[in-house]
Amino acid sequence: MSSLASLEDLKGKRVLVRSDLNVPLDGSVITDDGRIRASVPTIAELRSAGARVVVMAHLGRPSGAPEAKYSLAPVAARLGELLGAPVAFATDTVGPSAQAAVAAAGDGDVVLLENVRFNAGETSKDDAERGAFADELAALGDAFVSDGFGVVHRKQASVYDIALRLPSAMGGLVAAELDVLRRLTESPERPYVVVLGGSKVSDKLGVIDNLLDKADKLLIGGGMLFTFLKAQGKEIGTSLLEEDQLGTCLDYLARAEKAGVELLLPTDIVVADSFGDEGSAAVVPADAIPAGKVGLDIGPESGAAFAAALADAKTVFWNGPMGVFEQAAFAEGTRAVAAALTRVDGLSVVGGGDSAAAVRQLGFSDDEFGHISTGGGASLEYLEGKTLPGIDVLKG
């Protein structure tokens, strides 16, 4: 698989870079610029080589047409600040503005194209439609660098089809992500602890299936824990439940016991009268959740137990918050896990998405962890053993 170094003599070349700049916005204000910061090293390296860098990215889920709330304009401004250099912003993706901006770029300059998902061809399931859009993108460049790990699990024009049309290589961010994921799946240093949270068991089925026999400990929190508790016959009140996964949870519990994997479930829960009602928050035993209450976080006893389970770990993968971390009353379980990861003497990996947002919102810095993934979905699919189209296409 080609690395960035394989693209020789880039001075004066137009290099299309697929970055993942899908950051959260409050209006036009970026609330977490982690993905933009992660994209900077590859762009900076290309600039230093004298390339004319043309960045492609998406934001949100527009319906294949321009939507003002999903414009990348705020991202262009922030990217320029982080690079310490102006970033020209094209107000379309492959139209007159893009063509003019790319034509005007000099060696070392950076252009950010407008949201690729403003074009129906980007996400089309029709190979011809997607390919036609990729042709228009390819006309803007001489080479392609795949550096948006958060989208490599998607067979999309700016991720997959473009690599069939130009000399291609992976960027430093993608290379680093793959290196970490290999360390999690190929002979991980032990003890190996996997921490899973988030709302649904069904979102993590593949990961549990693939890692249950690889991990030494599996810690379960978040909304998904209540399906496990219900499977054990416990009352869960009005907490989140996936009834169609009760049998699956029982199977996981049995498999873990048979394999000698320690599967930890919370022993206490923070409950409330309704979702987000901080005023009614209370801690109850996990086997005594009142019928009218909803569970919104793991309790302090569980947070301490999870931290203790992580204390001697040499490898940790964490994906999914322990509770509704956006509200202080339900954030302490997530904080306890995050704090424990900062003390891990080995590789600690925060698996992107809500987990990455949570650690930053709770005041932790990125460098307190071994690695914070920029691609929650892509990381999970890799750990499930699935192929990633945006990676496979680079192997050819």
Is 295 annotated among the ligand-binding residues? yes
Is 204 annotated among the ligand-binding residues? yes
Is 371 annotated among the ligand-binding residues? no
Is 34 annotated among the ligand-binding residues? no
- Tell me if residue 64 is catalytic: no
13, 14, 18, 35: which is the annotated catalytic residue?
35
Is 83 annotated among the ligand-binding residues? no
Is 301 annotated among the ligand-binding residues? no
37, 165, 200, 234: which is the annotated catalytic residue?
200
Is 386 annotated among the ligand-binding residues? no
Is 278 annotated among the ligand-binding residues? no
50, 80, 95, 377: which is the annotated catalytic residue?
377
Is 277 annotated among the ligand-binding residues? no
Is 319 annotated among the ligand-binding residues? no
Is 239 annotated among the ligand-binding residues? no
Is 119 annotated among the ligand-binding residues? no
141, 303, 353, 376: which is the annotated catalytic residue?
353
Is 396 annotated among the ligand-binding residues? no
- Tell me if residue 200 is catalytic: yes
Q: Give the C-alpha separation, 379 to 207, whole Å.
A: 10
- Tell me if residue 377 is catalytic: yes
User: Which residues participate in the annotated binding site?
Assistant: 20-22, 35, 58-61, 117, 154, 204, 295, 326, 352-355
User: Which residues participate in the annotated binding site for substrate?
Assistant: 20-22, 35, 58-61, 117, 154
User: Which residues participate in the annotated binding site for ATP?
Assistant: 204, 295, 326, 352-355
User: Which residues participate in the annotated binding site for (2R)-3-phosphoglycerate?
Assistant: 35, 117, 154
Which residues are catalytically annotated?
Answer: 35, 200, 353, 377
